[in-house]
A = this chain, B = another copy of it.
Amino acid sequence: MGVSDDRRLAVLRAIVEDYVSTHEPVGSRALVERHRLGVSPATIRNDMAVLEEEGYIAQPHTSAGRIPTDKGYRLFVDRLANLKPMSPAERRAIQAFLDGAVDLDDVVDRTVRLLAQITRQAAVVQYPSLSRAAVRHVEVVPVGGRSALLVLITDTGRVEQRVVQVRSAGDLDALPEQLAALRDRVNAAVAGKRLKQAREELTAVVQASEPGQTAVAAEVVAALGECLTAGLEERVVIAGTANLVRSGADLSASLGSVLEALEEHVVLLRLVQEMAEEGVTDRGALSVRIGAENLHLGLPETSVVTSGYGEGEVLARLGVLGPTRMDYPTTMAAVRAVSRYVSRILSQ
């Protein structure tokens, strides 16, 4: 569609807005009544015919009103939508809610709940990606017998831990000192390094260890390697699934599969990853996926709005998931606002 015809675009926008608010096919008469388009229904009908021809709208059955197609929503989101700015009260609420967080886990938890609540849809927050995170410190704590606890701390504030059984330990009394020495060597080798790189450095540590202790070192280092790998693993948190069922019975047909997909965090991770890569619609950091674009992930009739967040660079994504006919302007504004506040909080 050329930009030429302003009114046709206005009609599309009006159709999207009305349909989103009423959930019913919208006809030409209702359209001229609710929006001051300054022309008669007949004219609108002509425009509608063209819009339908071009695939932006469709009619569920002959002699019913029109509803937007995925393509129609796409155009709306890309070129027609004006994000609805949040009210000062809402901004304050967001800030107040997030400021109370004490912890990275807490920040993520609060964020996902907040998003679900203000958008009244399902919310998804990806944990800050650790592929770029660096090792801040590694601690090895003997906890009696052959057991020791490994603790890995990254500079993003994430903590991974693991209990390791040191089977090859000869002298149990000497073990604590051995471990302490090992810890110091490990720290010297990996502190400040990125996780992936750190994993590679570890082999050198084993080789450099004293002859009698290579076995112990190998065991501990192997466990630490797992820890690093676990640290690299992406995680997501969701909330507000109950909002999906409220948001209208029309999604209820596919509700089952959507809920299923939401429980499979692997699917969500792929979704988030894909959105990060392609940046389908980029308005600021906002990215929107509409309807059939998510079908391969088992998410029919579903749209997703996400935004990158993080201190300075984009560490991860957060967003909202709901029925295709969601209120994009408000949702997008909310996602953007929350992502900004979260980024700010993480910078401290």
Contact = CB atoms under 8 A, between A and B. Distances in A.
A263 B122 CA distance: 12
B240 A263 contact: yes
B151 A139 contact: yes
A100 to B, nearest CB: 14
Contacts of A159: 149, 161, 163
Nearest to A149: B153
Interface string A252-281: 100111011011000000000000000000
Contacts of A144: 136-137
A156 to B, nearest CB: 12
Do most interface residues of chain A lie in helix, strand or loop, or is the interface mixed? mixed
A235 B161 CA distance: 19
Contacts of A256: 242, 245-246
Contacts of A252: 245, 252
A239 interface: yes
Interface in A133-164: 136-137, 139, 141, 143-144, 149, 151, 153, 157, 159, 161-163
Contacts of A257: 242
Contacts of A245: 245, 252, 255-256, 259
Interface in A297-347: none
A268 to B, nearest CB: 14
Contacts of A143: 136-137, 153
A131 interface: no
A162 B103 contact: yes
A241 interface: yes
Contacts of A263: 239-242
Interface string A3-20: 000000000000000000
Nearest to A241: B259
A175 to B, nearest CB: 14
16 contacts: A103-B163, A136-B144, A137-B144, A141-B153, A143-B153, A149-B153, A149-B159, A151-B151, A157-B163, A161-B161, A241-B263, A242-B257, A242-B263, A245-B252, A245-B256, A245-B259
The 9 A-B pairs at the shortest CB distance, nearest first, are namely A242-B259, A242-B260, A139-B141, A137-B143, A245-B256, A159-B161, A245-B255, A246-B256, A242-B256
Given A103-B162, A149-B151, A246-B256, 4 more contacts: A136-B144, A139-B139, A239-B263, A242-B256
